[in-house]
Amino acid sequence: MNTSAMIQELKTRLARHTAVTVLTGAGISADSGVPTFRGQDGLWNNYRPEELASPEAFDRDPRLVWEWYNWRRNLIRNCQPNPAHYALVDLERRGGTFRIITQNVDGLHTLAGSQRVSEIHGNIWKVRCTRCGRTAVNREVPIAILPHCSHCQGLLRPHIVWFGESLDPVDLQQSHDALRQCELLLIIGTSGVVYPAASFGSVAKEHGAFVAELNRDPTPHSDLVDMAIHGSAQDLVPQLLA
């Protein structure tokens, strides 16, 4: 089946199904110019992400970790949602049971207008107090280093799920509920190698969903899903709602 025929079949299924779940990864953000956090320049070339994105790193040197996150925030501060993000907003507005599960931390889905989003890896534009646990949006670039909570003066950290940390149980429950209940799962812009998201396609299929992968290149799961379409997210996703 060629790309046009697969797009048409997905359009038909989207028109027929009322329970849709979407899993997104770095590929949809790449179309908005969001770079990988594995930087190529200067100081950060001397560090592996695992050395900076961890509770141990923050305990050891919170200033260094915040400088890295400030650099990352500066890289993406002007990135805007692309046509794929906006097409998913339109899909949500059709009604029915809908949820986006995203591995991205750039906040572009909510910026585009999506309401039912589970940011399972956190959000780089949110901060969390290490003392009282309050979470808040903070889009300051540069952010004051070191930032402190306006309520209790505790040290703030990025609201990111770091290496060695568990996913938020509420986000995880929302994701599993959406995967078990959906009739159609769209996997967009992710290679599916990072767990637990790597297992989400299998979970949906086990509960009877049709699983379609839209990705620029084949992935380890391309032969396991019901349909795999290759291309950029910003080109393919809007066609599903055209």
Catalytic residue annotation: 121
Asked if residues 228 and 242 have their Cβ atoms less than 8 Å apart, the reply is no
For residue 236, give every residue at least 6 positions away whose Cβ sits within 8 Å of its Cβ, in sequence order, or none.
Answer: 7, 84, 214, 229
CA count, 13 A, side-chain hemisphere, 221:
25
State how beta strands 122-129 and 135-137 pair.
Answer: antiparallel
Residue 167's CB is within 10 A of a number of other CB atoms, namely 17
Residue 97's CB is within 10 A of a number of other CB atoms, namely 15
